[in-house]
Each structure stands twice: as C-alpha cells, then as structure tokens.
Copies of this chain bind each other. A is one copy, B any other.
Amino acid sequence: MLKALGLAEKGRGKTCPNPMVGAVIVKNGRVVGQGYHKGPGSAHAEVAAIKSAGAKARGATIYVTLEPCCHTGRTGPCTEAIKTAKIKKVIYACNDFNPMVNGKGAEALRRSGLKVENGLMKNEAVRLNEVYFNVIKKKRPFVTLKIAQTIDGRIATVSGDSKWITGQEARVFAHKLRSENQAVLIGMGTVKADNPSLTTRHLQGNNPYRIVVSESMEFPKSCKLIANNKDHKTIIATTKRSLAKYSKIKKTNGLTFWEIKKSGKNRLNLADILQKAYAFGIHSILVEGGSQMATSFLKAKLVDKLVVITAPLFLGSGLNSIGNLEISTIKNAIKLKNYFRFQCGTDQVFVGYPDQKN
C-alpha cells in the first residue's frame, strides 16, 4: 500500500477534479503490475495496473489507495475492469466519499465474489486526497493559507521591508506549493507592496491561476499580474461598481473578472469568491497574502490548511502575519490539528489544520 501511495503521489497537481490514486498488483508475494492516475481522461490507477500486469493479474491481489469506482465517467468503471481481469482480492485504503461511489464500489466487488478489505493506511490515503475529499464535502475549493514569517510573527518591518525573510530553500518550497494548487490568491495590499508574478519560476511546475481580490481595482500601472498575462490566468475578483467604473481594463490582456457580493463590513465576501472559483472549476486555492487577506480568511473560518514558514529571525515591531481575529481568551485561540513540522533550509515549516467549527 505504501508503494501504491507513492505511485498516487506522482499525479499531484495533475488529477483535478479527480483524486490521486495508485494501485499495485501482487501475486505470490511478487509485484506483477502497477499504475497511477495521470489525470482526467487518462486510465484510472486500477486499469493502468491491470494493463501493466497483463495475464498475471488473474488470481492476484490488487492494493489500491482509494475504493474502486463503479460508475462510468470519462472512463469505464474500475470494478468491471477488476472483475474482467479475474483479480481475486481487493485491498483499498479508504472509501471514496463521492456519493456515486462511497461503498458502492466495494459492494459491487463483493457481490461478484471477490474478497474485499479496506482501511489499510487509511489516514495517509485520506491526507493524500485531502483536497478531493474536502471539495466533495464542502462544495468549495480547498483553501491553504501560507505564511512566511519571523519567529516573532512578523512578515515585514515597520517600514514595509519584507525581502527576504525566509531562505532560498523555503522560496523553492513556496513555489512547489503554488504548483500543487490550481490557483493562488492575494489581496490588493500585496499587489501594491510586492508587485508579484505568482509564477513557479524556481522549479518546473504548472503555473496556477492568479486571483487578485480588489474592491477598488486601482491597480498600479506596472502591475505584473495585468501586464504579463499571456497565459490568460489572471482573475480579478471585484465589485459590480468597480467593474462598471473600470470597463476599459476589461477589454485588455485576457483578464477574467468575477463580480463578487459584498459582505456586511463593506468588504468582498470571501465565501462568494470561493463559490465563483468552484464554478470556474478551481478546487484548490493557496492564499499567499498579505496579513489582511490571511486574517479575513481565518476569521471567516474558510482556511482548511495552514502552512507557516518560520525563519530564525526576530524583527520586533512590524507587520504582523495575522491581524485582529477578535479572540479574547486563550481557550478560543485557533488550534492546529494533526500538525507536523519539517526543516526547510534554515527555516522551519509548520503544517496543520485549523480546528474551527464552521
């Protein structure tokens, strides 16, 4: 199963809206076939593994990271392919919560006389497809909030200097995060302060969509996200009023515009932004900044995962990574669940899941 999980991982960033899946076929204690899902329209992992095993699949056991599907989408049902190949036993890690599957795949296999087991390395398999499972459950994109800060929680000095807090390795890691998400989201403050490109130039990887949240649409003239939009991946989330006022900009540079509802406090409604993104086909968003955007997403309880890169520096007063969350007691602090850390160059990376009730 560990091998199957490793195979599944190869599809990271490429399988959306499908899950990452890996499969290994074992006969008489030897691996006779393996495969993974490469993306929409490509063979499912089980079919790829059966193809690589050929006739050796007969009487074998298949280890698969997700419950085999039993419905016909772009490709045929995997349960049928498994039966046709005369596989004898299916061991899968976790159920596919997609309502079209969710136990029905396992049931179909059992009805056909196959032995079926599940739960092996379930936690790992659920985490592997955390985006896929969250999107099914919440019907909105999976939101990862990334923060790069000093140990004392600052992202810039009082005078606004922010380059560079984290080291080179951490910046490569940040670009990897971008390439694994379908979209990167920033606020207008970050556009004005940093004028970022939001590409994955530090490594070979997909460039994600770039969502700029801007009520005013008062972009600086040199704004890279508008000027360098050859790939037509810049999206501007703004108000109806700004769209009318700046109608000229709409005709240039292949920009996409989303008209977003306002929320009570005269700000753009973040849940509405996520709904627009979901309708657009975006299932994962990396919120990169700045402080105000991070704070708003946390306050709205719309952060699924937090990635905090901490550099071994102290700045004292400066721009805080997180602003006012209106939390008055330690008991009500936002806790990170299932968190872990790793070293990245000279920096530490904390990863966790905010324990907030929606």
Q: Which residues of A contact B (CB under 8 A)?
A: 149-154, 157-159, 161-165, 295, 298, 306, 308, 310, 312-318, 320-331, 333-336, 339, 341, 348, 350, 352, 354
**Given A161-B330, A162-B330, A341-B348, are A298 and B316 also a contact pair (CB < 8 Å)?**
yes
**Given A153-B152, A312-B336, A317-B324, are A165 and B298 also a contact pair (CB < 8 Å)?**
no
Pick the contact of A159: B153, B328, B350, B352 (CB < 8 A). B328
A339 to chain B, nearest CB (A): 5
Is B325 in contact with A315, judged by CB distance below 8 angstroms?
Answer: yes
Is A316 in contact with B323, judged by CB distance below 8 angstroms?
Answer: yes
CB<8 Å pairs between A and B, sample of 5: A163-B330, A314-B325, A315-B322, A315-B330, A318-B327
Q: Which residues of B contact A341 (CB under 8 A)?
A: 341, 348
Q: Which residues of B contact A323 (CB under 8 A)?
A: 316-317
**Stoichiometry, copies per complex:** 2
Is B329 in contact with A313, judged by CB distance below 8 angstroms?
Answer: no
A163 to chain B, nearest CB (A): 6
Residue of B nearest to A150 (CB): B333
Q: Which residues of B contact A312 (CB under 8 A)?
A: 335-336, 339, 350, 352
**Given A153-B151, A153-B152, are A326 and B330 also a contact pair (CB < 8 Å)?**
no
Q: Which residues of B contact A317 (CB under 8 A)?
A: 320, 322-325
A357 to chain B, nearest CB (A): 15
A350 to B153, CA, bound (A): 14
Is B328 in contact with A314, judged by CB distance below 8 angstroms?
Answer: no
Q: Which residues of B contact A150 (CB under 8 A)?
A: 153, 333
A129 to chain B, nearest CB (A): 24
**Given A152-B322, A322-B152, are A157 and B335 also a contact pair (CB < 8 Å)?**
no
A159 to B335, CA, bound (A): 19
Is B152 in contact with A321, judged by CB distance below 8 angstroms?
Answer: yes
A347 to B190, CA, bound (A): 31
